[in-house]
Amino acid sequence: MNKPIVIPSPDNKHKAVLSYLGRIQSGREYYSLAIDGVPFSLQNRVFGRVCLWSHDSRFLSIQEWKENDAVTEPKSFLLLVLDLLTRRECIVAEVEGAKCEINPQEFIGDSLMYTVFYEGQFGTTKNFESNFQYLSGWQALK
């Protein structure tokens, strides 16, 4: 049994806990996510291993897997930002899962830097910036 991965926030007031759920054929592992003080809206969802806290511990960015069947690659990856102060979440970006992956890299001011990896014979990596606090589509964490 794999031990949960605990990722404390920079101010040590919060912690994200990734609990191992399984591994797909390519070897990628997937997890459930729990954050202290955040209720049930994260249940029954599947996440990748990479997550990132903002320097002020207000925001957590994580990769969510959509339509994962526990064998093949997910149909898509979402890059989420969770705002623990206002208890909301927003999708920053989405990529198709068959040949891509998306990971948060760094919070800089009101922006989130993230990377998309395109696999294949001529695999490439592209870096992006999102001024995530001004995105529409924020939804309450329930």
Q: What is the pLDDT of residue 24?
A: 83
**Structure-block tokens of residue 140:** 């309450």
Domain assignment present for residue 109? The answer is no
Domain assignment present for residue 9? The answer is yes
pLDDT tens digit sequence for 50-104: 999 999 999 999 999 987 666 667 888 999 999 999 999 999 999 987 678 899 9
Is 0.85 surpassed by the pTM of this model? Answer: yes
Domain assignment present for residue 135? The answer is no
Number of domains in the chain: 1
Q: State yes or no: pLDDT of 1 exceeds 70.
A: no
Integer angstrom CA distances of residue 66 from 2, 12, 15, 57, 74? 23, 30, 23, 26, 6
Domain of residue 87, residue span: 5-97
Domain assignment present for residue 106? The answer is no
